[in-house]
Amino acid sequence: MKKSFYILTFLLTTLLSCSSDDDSNTVETPDEINQTEWEHVEDNRGYYIYFSVGNSMRISHPVYDVGSGEFTNINIDGEFTYDKPNVSINFFGECSNSGFVFSSCDVSGTIEGDKLTIHDNGTDYVFTNMYPNE
């Protein structure tokens, strides 16, 4: 009986120590997002947000070209503000054209760890930091 108790205690200790190791791999929410790149993949097409120096940013997103029958990526510039964990984005130019990923030129979201979630008209778009430890 004593031997069974020791084996059970050993197994529980091992399981608990393994589960705590998994927690050490989490990514901290960044204090700054300048010079970071984020990716969202949908229907095998990539959407990329790049936060530049200052408050400049751009999104690269696929648009269907009727003439060629293929998707091509276009870039749209914008500006952002980041107040950890909240980010607000204002896109310029062709952001109101059909085919733009968001329903508006102004969107907001939150960053948690290496995930940026853009909240847009009832839909959440989750982007992953492509280089979270840099």
Q: Which amino acid is at 34?
A: N
Query: What pLDDT was estimated at residue 23?
Result: 47
Distance CA 32, CA 37 (A): 12
Which candidate, 30, 20, 31, 22, places its Cα nearest to that of 128? 30
More confident position, 30 or 23:
30
Rounded mean pLDDT, 71-82: 93
Contact of 23 with 16, CB cutoff 8 Å: no
Whether the predicted pLDDT of 20 surpasses 80: no
The answer, as to whether pTM is greater than 0.85, is no
Which candidate, 130, 92, 129, 123, places its Cα nearest to that of 108? 123
Which candidate, 89, 100, 108, places its Cα nearest to that of 47? 100
